Amino acid sequence: MKRIVIVLLAAALCASCRSPVVGPTPDTTRNAGGQPAVAGQYRFSTADLRIDLDIRPDGTYFASMNSWARVTEEHGVWGIEGDNVVLKCRSGGLQMPIRRLGPVRQRPAGMFQILEPDSQLGRAIIFSKS
């Protein structure tokens, strides 16, 4: 657990050192059902932590986390609340739960960050759409 905290702190420091990328605002286009087009495969990766997130068009998701060769997985459903993607776990569980994702402002479309009101560490984890 201490290693995860160290990795997240390092990621937060690296993210704070980067200059903002100037680009279009997050993708706000809508799919046929009127929902934001967020379905797709997303990834966050560092030397010691990898998180894969598959947000499926049918309203379900699959997430896997590999930290120091310890792999955890979860399945659940997702929905939209405002600009945020809300994940509700139905089975399994990640080492570090992810329950709410928000678009990353001032970055290209297709990028989300973990929103955790109690911690700035989650904001350092930025998922890129693959």
| pLDDT for res 79 | 95
53 bridge partner residues? 42, 63
Identify the residue with better confidence: 58 or 22.
58
Residue 122 inside a domain? The answer is yes
| Domain coverage including residue 103 | 2-21+37-129
| pLDDT for res 126 | 86
C-alpha distances in Å from residue 36, one per residue of 11, 59, 109: 28, 12, 12
Residue 14 CA to residue 18 CA, distance in Å, equals 7
Query: What is the residue-averaged pLDDT of the chain?
Result: 74
Residue 117 inside a domain? The answer is yes
Residue 32 inside a domain? The answer is no
User: Is residue 24's pLDDT more than 80?
Assistant: no
Confidence band (pLDDT; 50, 70, 90) for 120? Answer: low
CATH number at residue 123: 2.40.128.640
| pLDDT for res 118 | 54
| pLDDT for res 62 | 97
Residue 28 inside a domain? The answer is no
Residue 106 inside a domain? The answer is yes
Confidence band (pLDDT; 50, 70, 90) for 108? Answer: low
Residues 34-92: tens digit of each pLDDT: 445 799 999 999 988 999 999 999 999 999 999 888 999 999 999 999 989 999 999 99
Q: What is the mean pLDDT of residues 105-126?
A: 70
Tally of structural domains, the chain: 1
Phi-psi region of 118 (alpha: psi -120 to 50; beta: other; left: phi over 0): alpha
Residue 31 inside a domain? The answer is no
User: Is residue 15's pLDDT more than 50?
Assistant: no
Residue 64 CA to residue 77 CA, distance in Å, equals 15
Residue 92 inside a domain? The answer is yes
Residue 103 inside a domain? The answer is yes
